[in-house]
Amino acid sequence: MTYDYILLDTGSSVPLYQQLYLAVKNAIEAGHLAKGEKLPSIRKLAGDLKLSCTTVEAAYQQLCVEGYLTARPQRGYFVLSAPKSEALPLRPAAIRRPEQAQKIRYNFGSDCVDTSYIDLKIWQRHIREVLNRQEIIASYGDHQGEWELREALSAYSYGARGVIASPEQIVIGAGTQPLLSILCGLLRGADERIALEEPGFLQAEQIFSDCGLQVLRLPADDSGIRMDALRESGVKQVFVSPSNRIQTGTGIPVSRRYELLDWARETGGILVEDDYNGELRYNARPIPAMQGMDRAQTVVYIGSFSKLLLPSVRIGYMVLPERLLELYQTRVARYNQTASKTEQLALSRYIREGQLERQLRRLRKRYAAKSSALIQALKNAFGSHTEILLQETPLCVNLRLHTSLPGSTLCEIAARNGVRVMPEKGVSSGVVLGFAGIPLNDIEPAVQRLKEAWGDVVSRNH
């Protein structure tokens, strides 16, 4: 048998067994070795190539593990498969980072925060303290979330949001979407549908859809989801954001909250309360969570910390009512914990030492100043050519320009001029400016850049 497909370089840094493995593998993939063809024995190939038997055996074993060869007792090694080379997937060419992304000078995105407002040294100290506890970090941790954090959240959520929850009711996860995935598994069976207020919430809807729940978008009035539409739908599960309605930037009034709670109690329904940044309201006192008003155990509460700490710290928590908690506890051992155990324990210390409450007080002042500066800059720049809507807890401003250009086009123009903004869903010429990440001193020059970029198209289309 000839070995013209085997070329070995004894001076290479690549081990000989790996060179031999690659040579045989490539020959099989190229079709030079046919399916069922017998290869030389380990001893013969080693002698012919002047290699050790160990080297040949190592190459053959790897080829067997990957399914290229099969070893038949007392008979030898045979080619198991011979795929055509053109059928193999090609490695994709390297994709350059878009030039536009590299030129952004002012970022009004909603996926970042201004780190100058966060005492990173304190957070780093807590992380180091946990990492020094080797007996703690050497295990996976609690499926439901670390008990220390659940105890801390039980006290914190009551003080900050009026949430009534024992540590046993709290489930930890890496943000809202992983928690919603668990929740969908608990909800399915009672009703395969879930309702949201128009215009909906894409991140939640995607999870519901992935988990097999049909999403219904119900019409709303000035107070939130219309109760007549909710009752007529016959749905038994509703996703709500009582602290901040996407369409208006306002909260759901107490009267409508009680109507929703009465509906859930009377129908046996479930209300999923998304309290994203609920404690960050700064123009007035934060509106207490609806969960604290619930006496019939009908509300699932979901909170997170992405804008209180860092977006990269992916920790959220869910409070389950008793009827869902009982079902969850029968399954909890089969759910892997998605949030870092190290970060969970660090956050528990951060909360217990009062640092999260101090951080919250600082952020309320800073975000009040930022929102005021942004709104004033927009009024000065665009005057009567725009409508401005503050979304307080999402930390953004909806800017609705009087132009025929769609929001996506306005965003592209802004990006070409070094400013990142986002299109507003459901509004033809609306854009969203998040102010959590942009430094206060950058707000006015950023808006001036937008005025220069959009000035002609806004005035021309007005």
Residue 167 has pLDDT above 70, yes or no: yes
Q: What is the pLDDT of residue 214?
A: 95
| 408/67 Cα distance (integer angstroms) | 49
State the span(s) of the chain assigned CATH 3.90.1150.10.
101-113+361-461
The pair phi, psi for residue 290, each rounded to 5°, is: -65, -30
The mean-pLDDT minimum among 132-141, 206-215, 432-441 falls in 132-141
Domain spanning 101-113+361-461: CATH 3.40.50.450 = no
Please check whether residue 375 is in contact with residue 397, taking contact to mean a CB–CB distance below 8 angstroms.
Answer: yes
**Rounded to whole angstroms, how far apart are CA atoms 372 and 377?**
9
pLDDT score for 419? 96
Can you tell me the distance from the alpha carbon of 437 to that of 116, in angstroms, rounded to the nearest whole number?
10
pLDDT of residue 92 exceeding 70 = no
| Pairwise CA distance, residues 310 & 145, whole Å | 19
How confident is residue 311, by pLDDT bands cut at 50, 70 and 90? confident
What pLDDT was estimated at residue 127? Answer: 93
**The CATH fold of domain 16-86:** Arc Repressor Mutant, subunit A (1.10.10)
Find the mean pLDDT for residues 71-83: 87
Structure tokens at 115: 């780190």
Q: What is the pLDDT of residues 233-285, one digit of tens each?
A: 999 999 999 988 876 777 899 999 999 999 999 999 999 999 988 888 777 77
**Whole-angstrom Cα distance, residue 322 to residue 318?**
13
Indicate the pLDDT class of residue 90, thresholds 50, 70 and 90. Answer: low
* Edge-to-edge strands, sheet with 214-218: 170-173, 316-319, 299-304, 270-274, 237-240, 193-197, 214-218
Q: Tell me how far apart the alpha carbons of residues 310 and 461 are, in angstroms, rounded to a whole number.
A: 40
pTM higher than 0.85:
no
Kindly report the number of other CB atoms within 10 A of residue 203's CB atom: 12
- Summarised one tens digit per residue, pLDDT across range 17-61 is 999 999 999 999 888 888 999 999 999 999 999 999 999 999 999
Structurally, at CATH architecture level, domain 142-336 sits in 3-Layer(aba) Sandwich (3.40)
Residue 405 has pLDDT above 70, yes or no: yes
Ranges for all domains in the chain classified under CATH 1.10.10.10: 16-86
Angstrom distance (rounded) from CA 249 to CA 432: 12
Domain with CATH 3.40.640.10 in the chain: 142-336
Which positions ≥6 away from 369 have C-beta within 8 Å?
Answer: 440
